[in-house]
């Protein structure tokens, strides 16, 4: 953009947020309008939701200490542009921090809002542009090894909690879809975990098409549960397999149960078998899921009440009905082998369903002990093995539990890949070196 032939650079409000949060020394000696010299005692708590940008800040203006909220804009006129002048939520703003004080503003009560104009931190923006423009696997690849590992570990601890809070949103959406029924929502999420990554969606659709209350009515019969789940999965209609006696019996039972409970199957073509090891075939997973439903009553409550990881393994390491001893799919006999759910699969279920639901339920019920229990279980689980964990290990960041592997996954997907260095403690350290102030 150019005005009268001169190039004008658009300033970044997030950078002003960053400077307020991490470098209060920049404000020393500056005066706010219409009052006087400002001393920042505490920048407050960064608010990422609606309302003022920072809550509970503390500043001294002309020897008077003020406690309240802080709002930040590039231009002071943005205050009116965003309608803060008529919003009572901004009446407790004690300081308006801007890079360009182009308008005297008032709150909804008609009081002048003290406005502090600061020099725009160009050096931070230039360093940020350098970071986000890199083609490295992570923006701070060249600097991360120089940061104190202990403090990085503290940051990762925060990220693990942040990841669980993010997962809580998904849990809450499932609970809402289930009309407040936590057991039903847990059952849907559990089904998705059984599908692993490749068959997660059809497994979720299967669960949503087959209410838990239906299975509860016939839970004493494993055969009936299998008939409903395989029928609802659309697998009893496969035309490219030999229908043996067991499959025909399931089909007959499903015809009866589907009419009784008014069930409609999902399309069978959704299921993926290609490039899967036989032990991960969706047929076998559905058989294991049926056995879990058959064996367990009040599964969600039992998962909440489990005292340690051994109880979870005992609860979830289930097998299948006898037919599957020598089958991986219908109509094709294989050598006899144990079809018990393995430790790796149990870990995935605990990681993707049990822990997030425990944490979310703890939030919903105000139960801090339950939230802490979820975090403890993450610390007891082995770290995941994937490309992200391997990538960070090359930079000296190694996960010794699922607690930290989850944090690293969150760091990469939510910060590094999105180039959100301004909001990352590691990225913040790199940026602040330009201002001769390190936070890690």
pLDDT in tens, 139-181: 999 889 888 888 899 999 999 999 999 999 999 999 999 999 9
Mean pLDDT of 45-57: 93
Instruction: Give, for 45, the enclosing helix (H) or strand (E).
Output: strand 45-46
Nearest of 364, 368, 365 to residue 376 by alpha carbon: 368
The answer to whether 208 touches 227, Cβ cutoff 8 Å, is: no
Judge if 309 and 239 occupy the same domain.
Answer: yes
Judge if 331 and 261 occupy the same domain.
Answer: yes
Instruction: Identify the pLDDT of residue 148.
Output: 84
Provide CB contacts within 8 A for 438, sequence distance 6+.
Answer: 429, 432
Instruction: Identify the pLDDT of residue 430.
Output: 84
Provide CB contacts within 8 A for 71, sequence distance 6+.
Answer: 52, 53, 54, 79, 84, 90, 93, 95, 96, 97, 113
d(C-alpha 432, C-alpha 425), whole Å: 10
Instruction: Identify the pLDDT of residue 309.
Output: 83
Residue 128 lies in a domain: no
Residue 12 lies in a domain: yes
Residue 239 lies in a domain: yes
Residue 89 lies in domain: 2-120
Instruction: Identify the pLDDT of residue 10.
Output: 58
Q: Which of 361, 380, 399 is the last residue of a domain?
A: 380
Judged against a pLDDT cut of 90, whether residue 358 lies above it is answered with yes
Percentage of the chain beyond pLDDT 70 is 95
Q: pTM to 2 decimals? A: 0.85
Percentage of the chain beyond pLDDT 90 is 70
Nearest of 76, 70, 12, 73 to residue 40 by alpha carbon: 70
Instruction: Identify the pLDDT of residue 200.
Output: 96
Residue 135 lies in a domain: no
Residue 71 lies in a domain: yes
Judge if 111 and 183 occupy the same domain.
Answer: no
Q: Which residue has the higher pLDDT, 146 or 415?
A: 415
Instruction: Identify the pLDDT of residue 8.
Output: 38
Judge if 115 and 182 occupy the same domain.
Answer: no
Judged against a pLDDT cut of 70, whether residue 412 lies above it is answered with yes
Instruction: Identify the pLDDT of residue 147.
Output: 85
Helix/strand/coil for 279: helix
pLDDT digits (tens, 9 = 90+) for 217-236: 999 999 999 999 999 999 99
Judge if 81 and 203 occupy the same domain.
Answer: no
Mean pLDDT of 240-250: 84
Q: Which of 103, 120, 137 is the last residue of a domain?
A: 120
Judged against a pLDDT cut of 90, whether residue 239 lies above it is answered with no
Instruction: Identify the pLDDT of residue 211.
Output: 96
Judged against a pLDDT cut of 50, whether residue 440 lies above it is answered with no
Residue 351 lies in a domain: yes
Instruction: Identify the pLDDT of residue 237.
Output: 83
Mean pLDDT of 48-74: 93
Residue 49 lies in a domain: yes
Instruction: Count up the domains in the chain and report the number.
Output: 2
Q: Which of 120, 140, 155 is the last residue of a domain?
A: 120
Judge if 234 and 319 occupy the same domain.
Answer: yes
Mean pLDDT, the chain, integer = 90
Judge if 291 and 199 occupy the same domain.
Answer: yes
The confidence band for 438, taking pLDDT boundaries of 50, 70 and 90, is very low
Judge if 81 and 192 occupy the same domain.
Answer: no
Nearest of 198, 166, 165, 203 to residue 187 by alpha carbon: 203
Which two tokens mark 185? Answer: 């929502």
Judge if 363 and 226 occupy the same domain.
Answer: yes
Judge if 195 and 279 occupy the same domain.
Answer: yes
Nearest of 290, 387, 402 to residue 343 by alpha carbon: 402
CB atoms closer than 10 angstroms to residue 336:
9
Judge if 374 and 244 occupy the same domain.
Answer: yes
The answer to whether 358 touches 303, Cβ cutoff 8 Å, is: yes
pLDDT digits (tens, 9 = 90+) for 89-119: 999 999 999 999 999 999 999 999 999 998 8
Mean pLDDT of 361-380: 95
Judge if 189 and 324 occupy the same domain.
Answer: yes
State the DSSP string of 164-216. Answer: HHHHHHHHHHHHHHTTT-HHHHHHHHHHHHHTTTTTHHHHHHHHHHS-HHHHH
Residue 156 lies in a domain: no
Instruction: Identify the pLDDT of residue 436.
Output: 63
The confidence band for 308, taking pLDDT boundaries of 50, 70 and 90, is confident
The answer to whether 212 touches 190, Cβ cutoff 8 Å, is: no
Judged against a pLDDT cut of 80, whether residue 394 lies above it is answered with yes
Instruction: Identify the pLDDT of residue 434.
Output: 62
């Amino acid at each position: 953009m150019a005005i009268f032939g001169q190039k004008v650079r658009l300033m970044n409000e997030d950078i002003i947020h960053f400077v307020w949060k991490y470098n209060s020394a920049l404000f020393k000696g500056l005066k706010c309008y219409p009052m006087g010299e400002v001393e920042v005692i505490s920048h407050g708590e960064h608010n990422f939701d609606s309302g003022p940008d920072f809550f509970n800040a503390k500043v001294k203006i002309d020897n008077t200490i003020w406690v309240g909220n802080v709002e930040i804009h590039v231009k002071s006129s943005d205050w009116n542009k965003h309608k803060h002048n008529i919003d009572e939520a901004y009446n407790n703003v004690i300081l308006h921090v801007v890079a360009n004080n182009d308008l005297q503003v008032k709150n909804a009560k008609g009081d002048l809002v003290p406005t502090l104009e600061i020099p725009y931190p160009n050096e931070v923006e230039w360093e940020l542009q350098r970071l986000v423009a890199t083609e490295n696997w992570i923006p701070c690849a060249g600097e991360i090894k120089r940061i104190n590992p202990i403090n990085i570990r503290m940051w990762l601890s925060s990220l693990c909690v942040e990841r669980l809070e993010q997962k809580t949103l998904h849990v809450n959406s499932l609970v809402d879809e289930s009309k407040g029924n936590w057991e039903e929502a847990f059952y849907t999420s559990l089904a998705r975990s059984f599908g692993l990554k490749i068959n997660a969606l059809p497994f979720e659709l299967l669960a949503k098409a087959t209410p838990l209350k239906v299975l509860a009515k016939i839970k004493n019969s494993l055969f009936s549960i299998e008939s409903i789940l395989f029928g609802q999965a659309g697998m009893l209609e496969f035309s490219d397999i030999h229908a043996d006696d067991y499959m025909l019996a399931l089909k007959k039972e499903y015809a009866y149960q589907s009419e009784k409970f008014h069930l409609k199957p999902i399309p069978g073509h959704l299921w993926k078998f290609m490039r899967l090891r036989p032990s991960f075939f969706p047929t076998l997973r559905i058989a294991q899921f049926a056995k879990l439903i058959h064996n367990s009553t009040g599964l969600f409550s039992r998962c909440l009440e489990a005292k340690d990881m051994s109880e979870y393994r005992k609860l979830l390491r289930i097998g299948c009905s006898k037919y599957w001893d020598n089958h991986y799919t219908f109509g094709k006999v294989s050598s006899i082998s144990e079809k018990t759910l393995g430790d790796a699969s149990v870990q995935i279920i605990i990681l993707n369903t049990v822990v997030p639901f425990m944490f979310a339920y703890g939030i919903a019920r105000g139960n801090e002990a339950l939230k802490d229990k979820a975090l403890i279980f993450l610390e007891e689980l082995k770290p995941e093995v994937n490309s992200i964990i391997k990538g960070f290990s090359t930079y000296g960041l190694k996960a010794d539990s699922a607690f930290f592997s989850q944090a690293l996954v969150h760091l990469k997907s939510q910060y590094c890949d999105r180039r959100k260095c301004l909001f990352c403690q590691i990225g913040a350290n790199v940026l602040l070196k330009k201002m001769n102030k390190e936070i890690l």
